[in-house]
A and B are shown apart, each in its own frame.
Chain A
Amino acid sequence: MATTATLTLASADIAGDPVSVSKIATLTKAGSTNDLDQSSGLNRVHLRSTANKVLLAANAEGSDLAAKVYIINKSDDASLYLTVTINAQTIGKLYGGDFLFIPWSQTDIHANIEVAATNWTSSTGDIPVEYALFHEDTDFLTNA
């Protein structure tokens, strides 16, 4: 039941020599070689709020289990960005077209992943956001 995530980073001109990074990870349960077996599927929402909205609600039972989060800002407008926060701490901003792929500890019920369309106005249009969560089944706290 393998799920793999492949990343490529490439630039011919950001440094004096080309940058070319290509890595593949098989998504596994915490401290185990067993594959992650749960997913939220690919979700899509349209953000039209400058206030933080809960994209993924933390489940305290998932604390320190393995979870991976993918989020992409699907806006074509490079200036429209999402501010991504965990537990009220700003992690970073995703501008139009940017994506992230991060681990998520769900340390407690306050560790929600929240997003805000910080510079949205009624004239900018909505920001389409797609996201997916890959995780362990928190109902069965084993790595079997």
Chain B
Amino acid sequence: MATTIASINITSTDLLSDSLSLSAIATLTTAGSSTGLTQTGGLARKTTESASQYTLFAATNYTDDKAHKIYLKNMETSAGLYFLISIHDVEVGRIYAGDWALIPWSADTTSDNADFKITPSTSASHTLEYMIIHE
């Protein structure tokens, strides 16, 4: 059994009138069990040069309704360049330059295929790093 640990720390000394420090650690496990996730696509990098939508992960390639996790990082440094994240046809949000996200993904194929998609903000070069950890 593999052990993969995800930890997050959100801090600010001046967002609020008191300091903010929020942290959590999660061991990434298969759905409903204490068994660690054992599969990964590895850390990957994609550079886009089109504003078209790309399917990063197709739901049919993964087991339906499981505890998959997706990590994304927008590697750009120009503040205006973003990737719009969508699942099926629903917009989740935008990761701007330097932003990262950790997103649970069910890879649902029960009704519609919940494909995981990205749309770059422009046709300029945009680079994304990403990794899936899955069952």
Give the B-binding residues of A (Cβ under 8 A). 1-15, 19, 21, 23, 25-28, 30-33, 35-37, 39, 41-42, 64, 66-68, 70, 72, 78-79, 81, 83-84, 86-95, 97-105, 107, 111, 132, 134
Interface contact B32-A78, CB-CB below 8 Å? yes
Distance of A70 Cα from B10 Cα, bound (Å): 9
Distance of A30 Cα from B99 Cα, bound (Å): 11
Interface CB pairs A-B, < 8 A, 24:
A4-B10, A5-B100, A6-B10, A7-B6, A7-B7, A14-B2, A14-B39, A14-B133, A21-B71, A25-B100, A26-B98, A37-B15, A64-B94, A68-B99, A78-B29, A86-B90, A91-B103, A93-B65, A97-B27, A100-B103, A101-B8, A102-B93, A104-B92, A105-B92
Distance of A64 Cα from B27 Cα, bound (Å): 32
Contacts of B69 in A (CB 8 A): 92
Contact of A8 among B5, B79, B101, B131 (CB under 8 A): B5
Contacts of B128 in A (CB 8 A): none
Give the A-binding residues of B (Cβ under 8 A). 2-16, 20, 22, 24, 26-29, 31-34, 36-40, 42-43, 65, 67-69, 71, 73, 79-80, 82, 84-85, 87-96, 98-106, 108, 114, 131, 133
Shortest distance between the CB of A72 and any CB in chain B (Å):
5
Interface contact B91-A19, CB-CB below 8 Å? no
- List the count of A-B residue pairs having beta carbons below 8 Å apart: 200
Contacts of A67 in B (CB 8 A): 93
Interface contact B22-A91, CB-CB below 8 Å? no
Distance of A6 Cα from B10 Cα, bound (Å): 6
Contacts of B4 in A (CB 8 A): 9-11, 14, 19
Distance of A88 Cα from B87 Cα, bound (Å): 11
Contacts of B131 in A (CB 8 A): 9, 19, 21
Contacts of A37 in B (CB 8 A): 15
Distance of A10 Cα from B5 Cα, bound (Å): 5
Shortest distance between the CB of B42 and any CB in chain A (Å):
6
Interface contact B10-A93, CB-CB below 8 Å? no
Contact of A89 among B3, B9, B14, B87 (CB under 8 A): B87
